Amino acid sequence: MSLNTSTVSSPSPVTNVEGRKRPSTSSRGAYEYVLLTASALFALIAAYFVGTVIWRAVPAFREQGFGFFSNAMWNSSFDPTVPSQFGSLSMIIGTLITSGIAILIAVIVGTGTALAITFLLPSRLRTIAATLIELLAAVPSVVYGVWGLIILTPWFQYTVGPWLAGIPGFDWLFGTTAGGQCYLLAGLVLGAMILPSYVAIGREVINSVSKELIEASLSLGATQWQTLWKTVIPTARIGLFGAGTLALGRAIGETVAMSMVLGSALSTNYQLLKPGATLAGWIATQWGEAQGSNQVPALFALGVILMVVSLSMSLISNRLVARQRRAATL
Amino acid sequence: MTTLHIDNSHHIREHLRERASATIKRRQFVSRLMIALCWVAIGLAALPLGDVIINLFSHGWSSVSSWAFYSQLPAQPTLVTPDAVGGVSNAIAGSAVILGYALLGALPIGIGIGVYTAESDSRFAATLRLVVATMVGAPSILMGLFAFGLVVVQLGMGFCIMAGSFAIGTMMLPVLAASTEIAVRNVPATLREAGLALGAKKSTTSLRIVLPAAITGIVSGAILAISRAIGETAPVLLVIGGSQAFTWKAGDFGEALPFMIYQDASSSYPAQRAQAWGIALFIVIVVFFLSLTARIWANSKQKERR
């Protein structure tokens, strides 16, 4: 193992010294073995993590086959002559709806907020706003769950819901009856929840756009907005994309807040004022009664879907950001 | 494009001027409109966040400011005594114990990985870096499933505090590793080279020169991981089982603050819902306090060094 001297080009003085004294074999002492052990342990944990979740889900996949993805029923049968039915379709669509609404809100409102903080606020307020946003990003999701359940659910049930349900021509979208816990509310709460983390990263990315570029644009006669839209955002787009992917990952994996504001209902009616379920939320709500039954492998199978989606998303975003960085340094 | 002729250049100039003033007006209008929308966005972002904070204080302050909240065990309210909810002492202790065990395991390993990936160029280090970056984004409920599969079932420990610690610890590992790696990498290469040039061994240089220089970043990362872990509900929800008693034994059923919020929030007793707000406010205060201290401490350290 060699020291990382990537910042030093050409043969560095470090290697020269080492080469002369040849201590490289003897210096691989206890300290480096400790580091290596810690790292190996982590690699083992990571492998075991993936393995455990998949292995515990195998019985469900084997029993349900492809039906696990195409079926919207969830019936645990204790009678051995009647097969149990576990399907994740409803949860998959529920997750798509809620995180779709959330990411839409986070990206539109969040990008506007990040731009406003960086370019419109006076400099003294800017630091305060930035600190506040970062602190808010640390508010645990269960707090948003409490807020959504206790404050927003009644408001939705008696004020917002009836109003939306009464809009003529939008029955297909909202349905005709108002509900408290519903897809729309869940999406909004989720959006509010991931907004601070999106803004926190997005603000840094936008802040790193060079001043010269912005001044060049303004000096060519572009208006303030044209500069933001055609210079700042395109320059920062990969970073913003990364922030969005991160926020989306958080939205997809969000558990307790979703089980609190979305309820736990399975139906093939996906109108926005109906209660539903997400992958992660369903695991949490069913967990207690699932113990000791054949539901547990099925819940693990939901975990597998969640894992595949979230891990591949972060892999892709890592790749993209790394490629962008390499392109920037060349 | 029209070609210019000397004859009608006057008309064309007039025409261009009109066109130009029209586009400028349009562009100015669009710009003003969109800038106004940016202000609207900041308002829209502040609205829910402000509402959360206001509700936290208005509903939760009475719990947080009462001594019983910290000293008593929870009680089940009845129709006769709807306000007898007790305190959350066992959940505070439980959260601290779960976090303590988790840190005991995760701190050394996490910092070890971070230092290793920062100092090594090997292929294994590159792989680890990728694994760390991927695991940071893994939903926390998966760690709960993992802890259930491994600790509760495979090791046969049943629902217990240890399983909660394991889930929280696994969740913190990649965060600690990533922040440590950044902190170590940010130490100027000249510092390390100076140590090596003086004849110090790699391990001595690393332990006595690089790590002390990186300590601000490492501690800030650790505090970030802790403040994230305190409010983490999903993993503990799956594996600690819940308990009304006061315990620190790793094999017992446990209780944790966020778990208790989850249970209290859907109660039909207003006093219990108020307690949920109280715990939420308590966690938010602790998290804010931790991150602010980390920030202020890091800033003062940085000034000291200059």
Is B78 inside a domain boundary? Answer: no
State whether the Cα torsion B48-B52-B53-B54 is positive or negative.
positive
DSSP secondary structure, A209-229, as one string = S-HHHHHHHHHTT--HHHHII
pLDDT digits (tens, 9 = 90+) for B174-217: 999 999 999 999 888 898 889 889 988 888 888 888 888 888 88
Among the three residues B65, B81, B113, which one is the final residue of a domain in this structure?
B65
Q: What is the pLDDT of residue A34?
A: 87
A127 and A270 share one domain: yes
Residues 6+ apart with CB under 8 A from A29: B201, B203
CB B187 within 8 A of CB B213: yes
Contacts of A304 in chain B (CB under 8 A): none
DSSP state of B199: T
Question: Phi/psi of residue B260, each to 5°?
Answer: -70, -35
B167 and B259 share one domain: yes
B179 and B287 share one domain: yes
Structure tokens at A218: 């303004």
Give the one of B42, B119, B262 whose C-beta lies nearest to A117's C-beta. B42
CA distance linking residue B85 with residue B80, whole number of Å: 12
Among the three residues A85, A106, A124, which one is the final residue of a domain in this structure?
A85
Is A3 inside a domain boundary? Answer: no
CA distance linking residue B255 with residue B245, whole number of Å: 8
B192 and B239 share one domain: yes
Q: What is the pLDDT of residue A306?
A: 94
Structure tokens at B36: 């106004």
CB B206 within 8 A of CB B115: yes
Domain enclosing residue B230, as ranges:
89-305
CA distance linking residue B88 with residue B71, whole number of Å: 7
Give the residue among A136, A207, A145 at the shortest CA–CA distance from A181: A145
Domain enclosing residue A56, as ranges:
17-85
Contact B234 A280 (CB under 8 A): yes
Among the three residues A60, A85, A110, which one is the final residue of a domain in this structure?
A85
Give B 136-195 residues with CB within 8 A of chain A.
136-143, 145-146, 149-150, 153-154, 170, 173, 177, 185, 189, 192-193
- Which pTM was predicted? 0.86
CA distance linking residue A218 with residue A283, whole number of Å: 52
Residues 6+ apart with CB under 8 A from B42: A112, A113, A116, A117, A120, A121
CA distance linking residue B110 with residue B108, whole number of Å: 6
Is B228 inside a domain boundary? Answer: yes
Instruction: Please give the average pLDDT of every successive group of 10 residues along chain B, which has 306 residues.
Output: 62 88 90 92 90 93 88 82 82 92 94 91 90 89 94 90 94 93 90 88 86 88 89 88 78 87 88 91 92 84 70
Among the three residues A69, A85, A101, which one is the final residue of a domain in this structure?
A85
A39 and A159 share one domain: no
Give the one of B128, B141, B231 whose C-beta lies nearest to A143's C-beta. B231
DSSP secondary structure, B203-261, as one string = HHIIIIIIHHHHHHHHHHHHHHHHHHHHT--HHHHHHSB--SS----TTS-B--HHHHH
**What's the CATH code of the domain at A274?**
1.10.3720.10
Specify which residues A86 forms β-bridges with. Answer: A74
In chain A, the residue whose alpha carbon lies closest to the alpha carbon of B192 is A14
A101 and A234 share one domain: yes
- Burial class from Cβ neighbours inside 10 Å (0-12, 13-18, 19+) for residue B264 reads buried
**Burial B35-47, CB ≥16 within 10 A → b, else e:** bebbeebbebbee
B102 and B194 share one domain: yes
DSSP secondary structure, B62-113, as one string = HHHTSTHHHHSPB----SSSTT--B--HHHHHHHHHHHHHHHHHHHHHHHHH
**What's the CATH code of the domain at B152?**
1.10.3720.10
Total domains in the fold of chain B? 2
Is B13 inside a domain boundary? Answer: yes
Give A 94-113 residues with CB within 8 A of chain B.
108-113
Q: Which of A67-71, A113-117, B278-282 has the lowest mean pLDDT?
A: A67-71
The most confident of A24-33, A41-50, A156-165, by mean pLDDT: A41-50
DSSP secondary structure, A133-195, as one string = HHHHTTS-HHHHHHIIIIIIHHHIIIIIHHHHHHSTT-HHHH-SS--SS-HHHHHHHHHHHHH
Q: How confident is the model at residue A52 (pLDDT cuts 50, 70, 90)?
A: very high
